[in-house]
Structure 1
Amino acid sequence: MKNEKTTVIGFIGTGVMGKSMAKHLVKAGYKVLIYNRTVSRTQELVDIGAIRKDTIAELSSESNVIITMVGYPSDVEEVYLGQEGILQNAKSGTYVVDMTTSSPILAKKIYEEALRKDIYALDAPVSGGDIGAQKGTLAIMVGGQKNHFDAIKPVLDIMGTNIVLQGEAGAGQHTKMCNQIAIASNMIGVSEALVYAKKAGLDQARVLNSIETGAAGSWSLSNLAPRMIKGDFEPGFYIKHFIKDMKIALEVAEEMNLSTPGLKLAKSLYEELAELGEQDKGTQALYKLLDKQLASLS
């Protein structure tokens, strides 16, 4: 996959994350075909050289690498396994890489179905939010066969800097669940810390400057706490998608007889936010909920 002249990449899903990821591939010199249900979200990529396709079937038949970055497991299933989907229309020898955060069980199902058609599937969810996508510094967690991973890694290198093969099909999605579980409780801590600072009459930005380089340091503290302080709750990662991820993690954890109380609490708080109409805001909007609770007690 190092030869930009012969590799044609199909990219499905050009939303907040996908648009930046596809942009890196275009700028790296690859021929990139794109598809998105909302056509207007493809225009910026078309303007820099990507080629818009009208259907997934058309894109799939013309690509030898297909990357997907869609919303929900139901979308993944439709895009891959539907009658007009990838596996019904891709050529033998095509590499397909699902970078959506989805179900480990579905990842295995897609891998097995793909293999029957001589198509090579990997699950490769990412972490790093819109900032990581824009900078090309995403952490990419991969499940699948090593030879397939080795073949596709030069493409992944364009979008990320921490790219690890975690194991067989589904291992990438399991690793992403670990990531989301860690973030879930951390976001509560970051939000509560800033609300506490406000209640104590402190300068929140100055507090952040002190604590982000110590033991409390985290990606969320350094990248999302400044947005909380500024009142910027626009999505780098949607609340509705985070709820979806937490639901998957809880379901898989329950199958493994694993208790995750921090995850359950975080999910309940984010569901409360969604009920207040905040489902399309960024995950840092959890601060608004806790700050509102503080105001009601004042």
Structure 2
Amino acid sequence: MGGVGAGQAAKLCNQLIVATNMLAIAEAMHVGEALGIDLAQLPVAFQGGFADSRPLQLFGPRMAPPADPGPPVSELRTMYKDIRSIRAAAAAAEAGTPLLASVEAMWTRLIDAGHGGEDVPGLMRLYRHPTDLGEQ
């Protein structure tokens, strides 16, 4: 990966992809719900395709109502911590991150509204309960 610190830098790049992917999954689930799709079937339909991912297979079914979310996997505040670390590292390297800015803004809405202790399916609050999160 490179010299000292390269492993940490690679982890930040990974977390940028994961944080963005999880929001994309939540938004796709929201759009699918609005279009009348059986959300429980969406991750199954995408298996093996370009949209498939471990986060989709793990969290997609947990975002679909009335699915039992099961035991928590990770609190939203944990990913938010990583997002802030990515932003700081990118800023220090003078790397532009316009997508990260949008992702961070969405996660910030959840954290500022007091949902940091929720598991990843809590991302659906952005779509199902946006008025509970303050200004849109």
Which of the five TM-score ranges fits, normalised by the shorter chain?
Answer: 0.7 to 0.9
Give, in whole Å, the separation in 2 of the partners of 1:258 and 1:233: 38
Structure 2 residue aligned with 1:262: 99
Task: Report % sequence identity.
Answer: 27
1:133-165: CA deviation from partner (whole Å, max 9, x where unpaired): xxxxxxxxxxxxxxxxxxxxxxxxxxxxxxxxx
- TM-score norm. by structure 2 comes to 0.84
RMSD of the alignment, in Å?
1.9
2:33 alignment partner AA: K
Runs of 4 or more consecutive aligned structure 1 residues displaced over 3 Å after TM superposition: none
Structure with the greater alpha carbon radius of gyration: 1
2:113 alignment partner AA: L
The answer as to 2:125 corresponding to 1:288 is yes
- TM-score norm. by structure 1 comes to 0.41
1:273 alignment partner AA: L
Whichever structure has more helix as a proportion of its residues is 2
Contact kept, 8 Å, 1:233 with 1:285, in 2: the verdict is no
Q: What are the within-5 Å matches in structure 2 for residues 139-150 of structure 1? A: none
Q: Which runs of 5+ in 2 are unaligned?
A: 132-136
Which of 193, 196, 203 aligns to 2:31? It is: 196
For residue 206 of structure 1, report the CA deviation from its aligned partner: 1.6
Distance 1:181 1:233, change over 3 A: farther
Q: Which runs of 5+ in 1 are unaligned?
A: 1-165
More RCO (CA 8 Å, sep 6+): 2
Q: Secondary structure at the match of 2:129?
A: helix
1:264 alignment partner AA: A
Contact kept, 8 Å, 1:177 with 1:249, in 2: the verdict is yes
Contact kept, 8 Å, 1:187 with 1:284, in 2: the verdict is no
Give, in whole Å, the separation in 1 of the partners of 2:71 and 2:104: 19
Contact kept, 8 Å, 1:212 with 1:221, in 2: the verdict is no
Whichever structure has more strand as a proportion of its residues is 1
Which of 17, 27, 37 aligns to 1:182? It is: 17
Give, in whole Å, the separation in 1 of the partners of 2:40 and 2:117: 26
Give, in whole Å, the separation in 2 of the partners of 1:197 and 1:287: 12
Contact kept, 8 Å, 1:190 with 1:221, in 2: the verdict is yes
The answer as to 2:112 corresponding to 1:275 is yes
